[in-house]
Amino acid sequence: MRRALEIRDQHRCAFPSCTHTRFLDAHHIEHWVDGGATELDNLVLLCRRHHTFVHEYGYRIERDAQGTKFVAPGRRPLPTRPPLPESPSAPIERLAEAHADLGLSLGALSLMPQNWDGSPADHEWIVGMMCQQTFGVGRSSAGVQHLRDA
């Protein structure tokens, strides 16, 4: 659901004129406590500042076929930013298709190691492999020092 929301809102805060693309919250337009569903049509991405505007300062969000409108308390709707380009009708299915095209079969257990014996992760080995792949150096202390200097 989160990925579909990010694709639809282009990883941007939906508030007019806001350019924030990081630290975005998924906000229910009709709050879930008031019966709002957790579905794409009832969600919008907001930066922390504008999320606070909506919750603490009485800004209202309205979503219709024309897009998302923000209304300041006791005022007319705020000017909207240019409309986002046409979003895919089913972003989650599109993402699944892209994974399938790459030969990936992703599911709830995709990241579970197949032959894991329950032992803790070997962080020295992991960092050594990362150094080897990134800098072309092995597990030597020089590689770790190179990583620290980077």
Each residue's pLDDT expressed in tens, for the chain with a length of 150 residues: 899 999 888 899 999 888 899 999 999 999 888 888 889 889 999 999 999 988 888 888 888 777 788 888 877 677 666 655 555 556 777 777 888 888 887 777 777 777 777 788 888 888 888 888 888 765 455 545 555 555
DSSP string, 27-84: EESS-GGGT--SSGGGEEEEEHHHHHHHHHS--EEEEETTEEEEE-TTSPBPPPPPPP
DSSP annotation of 25: E
Read off the pTM: 0.51
Within its chain, how far is the Cα of 2 from the centroid? 6
Pair 52, 126 in one domain: no
Burial (0-12, 13-18, 19+ Cβ within 10 Å), 131: buried
Please indicate, yes or no, whether residues 91 and 35 belong to a single structural domain of this protein.
Answer: yes
Domain range enclosing 142: 122-150
Question: In this structure, are 89 and 144 located in the same domain?
Answer: no
116 within a domain of the structure (yes/no) = no
Question: Into how many domains does the chain fold?
Answer: 2
